[in-house]
Amino acid sequence: MPALTDILTLGSGTLVGLVLGLIGGGGSVLAVPLLVYLVGVPSPHVAIGTSAIAVAVSATVNLAGHARAGHVKWPCATVFAAAGIAGAAIGSTLGKAMDGQKLLLLFGGLMVVIAITMFRRTGAREDAGVRLSPASAPRLLPRLLAYGVGVGALSGFFGIGGGFLVVPGLLAATGMPLIFAIGSSLVAVTAFGVTTAVNYAISGFVDWRMVAVFIAGGVLGGFAGRRLAGRMAARKGLLARVFGVVVAAVGLYVIARGLLALAG
């Protein structure tokens, strides 16, 4: 039923775009289960390859929207993303040597810890004027590189796009407001996603029609997500709490899947 498949794919893309626009992460974590369990893509490899391209494009569109709104700290984001790519190479090598179901459980646990951290930082001091410059480089550059490599390594280790990890990493490294961390995180999400997408496309694991429909939904959802993020950012702590709830929900879902897989 191609029409039903297209409708389900469009809806999945809209949800992923909404989450990407709202909190800057969660695209790849949500997209693969949606394509496999809701749309019914029979091959996990095709689901990963298709979602990687769709998420990378959706992240790029959302990045452009946040950039127009002035929510991207480009020097900080670029250094973080470059360090993350290097870390991902290390993490993916280590991850391949570990049992996949144990990886799921560890990843779910990490998400819950991040969610708790986000709830606890709702009253944290923020520096909206922070930027990477010759004057601030001695303080910011080592932190951006260290957190970037760490987040990239975790992204590669767990085989995810890393958006859920990039936002807390940028916050910890720079102290920028959450709305800026969300916008800036999409630089890394785009870079990580493109790298994965090219790899899977070369191997033929991509359904291009599904990619087009998914992206259409992602553009619609991303517009709504960016609008919501902008409104929530004006209310102190609300965006951080929403981020925490979404991350915790995904973490618990991943833990449940991992436990079911180990039990079955």
pLDDT at position 191 is 83
Q: Do the Cβ atoms of 109 and 220 come closer than 8 Å?
A: no
Q: Which residue has the higher pLDDT, 7 or 199?
A: 7
Average predicted confidence (pLDDT) for the chain: 85
- pLDDT, tens digit, 9 for 90 and up, residues 19-47: 888 888 777 778 888 888 899 998 878 88
pLDDT at position 176 is 93
Q: Give the single-character DSSP code of 34.
A: I
Q: Which range among 4-13, 57-66, 81-90, 227-236 shows the weakest confidence by mean pLDDT?
A: 227-236
SS3 196: helix
CB within 8 Å of 197: residues ≥ 6 apart: 49, 52, 53, 56
Q: Is the pLDDT of residue 159 over 70?
A: no
| Res. 207 pLDDT band, cuts 50 70 90 | very high
Q: Which range among 71-80, 115-124, 241-250 shows the weakest confidence by mean pLDDT?
A: 115-124
Rounded Cα–Cα distance for residues 50 and 46 (Å)? 6
Max mean pLDDT among 58-72, 110-124, 232-246 falls in 58-72
pLDDT at position 44 is 78
pLDDT at position 236 is 64
Q: Do the Cβ atoms of 161 and 155 come closer than 8 Å?
A: yes
| Tokens of residue 237, six digits | 């702590």
pLDDT at position 78 is 96
**Average pLDDT of the residues in 182-188:** 90
| Res. 224 pLDDT band, cuts 50 70 90 | very high
Domain parsing of the chain, residue ranges: 2-263
pLDDT at position 217 is 94
The dihedral region occupied by 134, where left means phi > 0, alpha psi between -120 and 50, and beta the remainder, is alpha
pLDDT at position 208 is 94
Q: Do the Cβ atoms of 229 and 182 come closer than 8 Å?
A: yes
Instruction: Please name which of 71, 65, 37 lies closest in space to residue 256, comparing C-alpha atoms.
Output: 37
Q: Give the single-character DSSP code of 39.
A: I
| Res. 264 pLDDT band, cuts 50 70 90 | low
**Average pLDDT of the residues in 193-210:** 84
pLDDT at position 211 is 94
Rounded Cα–Cα distance for residues 162 and 140 (Å)? 21
Q: Which residue has the higher pLDDT, 3 or 10?
A: 10
Q: Do the Cβ atoms of 30 and 15 come closer than 8 Å?
A: yes
pLDDT at position 215 is 93
| Tokens of residue 169, six digits | 């990493």
Q: Is the pLDDT of residue 242 over 70?
A: yes
Rounded Cα–Cα distance for residues 27 and 66 (Å)? 16
| Res. 1 pLDDT band, cuts 50 70 90 | low
**Average pLDDT of the residues in 103-126:** 78
